Chain A
Amino acid sequence: MIILNLNYILNIVITLFLIGVLGLVLNRKNILITLMSIELMLLAINLNFVVFSIYLDDITGYIFVLFILTIAAAESAIGLAILTIYYRLKNTIRIDKIKNIKS
């Protein structure tokens, strides 16, 4: 059994979420890193739900984790499909080269 302070886990989760936000803001390379940092933010939210579900002894947090996982999988699949089409049309996925989405 793990014996740990709650604040330590919460600080780790918040740091993970803010790394995701930092990746969204600082990223100038390509859209793949953007999607990955969105995944990191969703992972931090999931960890937060699980930690509070254990701390408060309530199983409802697990259900929300399952729904967030569903949304994350759908979002990454559709985002990567759009990315593939864009690469096929414009032959680049640099963020600063994207001027219009409509081809």
Chain B
Amino acid sequence: MIVNLFFYFFSFVLITSSLMTVFSQNSIYSVLFLVLSFVSSSSILFLLECEYVSLIFIIIYVGAIAVLFLFVVMMLDIKTISLVKDSLKYFPFGSFIGIAFLIEILLVVPSTFEAINPYNISFLCNFHLDWFNKLDYFTEIMSVGHLLYTDYLIQFLLSGNILLLATIGPVTLVLIRSIKTTKKQITFKQLSRTYNSVLYI
């Protein structure tokens, strides 16, 4: 039961830190709360016993995306301005959209998944001992590799191309084109020099 307590704790941390990501005034704090929400979601996945995806979450989200955000925040040097009055102008519209979606989906979800499992109300839902899993062991990353390199080969190559695009695109966007370091000889200018304008030494 202590695993369930861990699950409740990490889900609370996840929701709280994502709320603080959206609503905090300083951008650096919001990036750090984003990192905290990534780490807590990854630990939720650890508790659900899918280790590969949770480690991939830590490597890609925390190691790549959040560090990228932090780098940009440090580089841009944004001033912290409190915009409470300006953001309260749009608060009724946004809260109406959010609460409407929340009520709709919270009404839909329990009614949809109620009929599948008869033990839905009890706490011991979906618990069984898988004897096939005990006898014939087959690791998770092996099955992911089997599926990824056979059935989803074309999608895998396409995602590699997307990563190549994401590597080349920012480099070509950020390059400063105005600086010319090389000196060129312009042939027309060279040939159109007249005898009169030549400087004698």
Instruction: Report which A residues bind B (CB closer than 8 A).
Output: 1-7, 9-12, 14-16, 18-23, 25-30, 32-33, 35-37, 39-40, 43, 46-47, 50-51, 53-55, 59-60, 62-63, 65-67, 69-74, 76-78, 80-85, 87, 93, 96
How many whole Å from A23's CB to the nearest CB in chain B?
A: 4
Q: Give the secondary structure class of A's interface.
A: helix
Nearest B-chain residue to A23, judged by Cβ: B22
User: Which of B50, B60, B123 is the one whose CB lies under 8 Å from A3?
Assistant: B123
Which A residues are CB-close (under 8 A) to B143? 59
Nearest A-chain residue to B22, judged by Cβ: A23
Bound together, the chains give a CA A78 to CA B166 distance in angstroms of 6
Q: B9 in the interface, Cβ–Cβ < 8 Å?
A: no
Which B residues are CB-close (under 8 A) to A10? 109, 113
Which of B38, B65, B68, B147 has the largest number of chain A CB atoms within 10 A?
B65
Bound together, the chains give a CA A53 to CA B75 distance in angstroms of 39
User: Which of B37, B73, B163 is the one whose CB lies under 8 Å from A73?
Assistant: B163
Query: For residues 63 through 115 of chain B, which have their beta carbon under 8 Å from a beta carbon of chain A?
Result: 64-65, 68-69, 72-73, 75-76, 78, 81, 83, 86-87, 90-91, 93-95, 97-98, 101-102, 105-106, 109-110, 113
Nearest B-chain residue to A85, judged by Cβ: B173
Instruction: Report which B residues bind A (CB closer than 8 A).
Output: 3-4, 7, 11, 14-15, 18-19, 21-22, 25, 27, 30-31, 34, 37-38, 41, 44-45, 47-50, 52-53, 56-57, 60-61, 64-65, 68-69, 72-73, 75-76, 78, 81, 83, 86-87, 90-91, 93-95, 97-98, 101-102, 105-106, 109-110, 113, 117, 120, 123-127, 140, 143-144, 147-148, 152, 155, 159, 162-163, 165-167, 169-170, 173-174
Bound together, the chains give a CA A93 to CA B25 distance in angstroms of 15
Contact, CB under 8 Å: B49 / A1: yes
Add 19 more A-B contacts to A36-B34, A66-B148 (CB < 8 A): A1-B3, A2-B47, A3-B4, A9-B11, A14-B105, A15-B15, A16-B14, A28-B86, A32-B31, A32-B72, A33-B21, A33-B30, A37-B22, A62-B52, A66-B144, A71-B159, A74-B166, A77-B167, A78-B173
Contact, CB under 8 Å: B60 / A76: no
Which B residues are CB-close (under 8 A) to A83? 72, 76
Which A residues are CB-close (under 8 A) to B60? 69, 72-73
Contact, CB under 8 Å: B87 / A26: yes
Contact, CB under 8 Å: B147 / A19: no
Which A residues are CB-close (under 8 A) to B56? 65-66, 69
Contact, CB under 8 Å: B65 / A71: no
Contact, CB under 8 Å: A81 / B174: yes
Which B residues are CB-close (under 8 A) to A5? 120, 123, 125
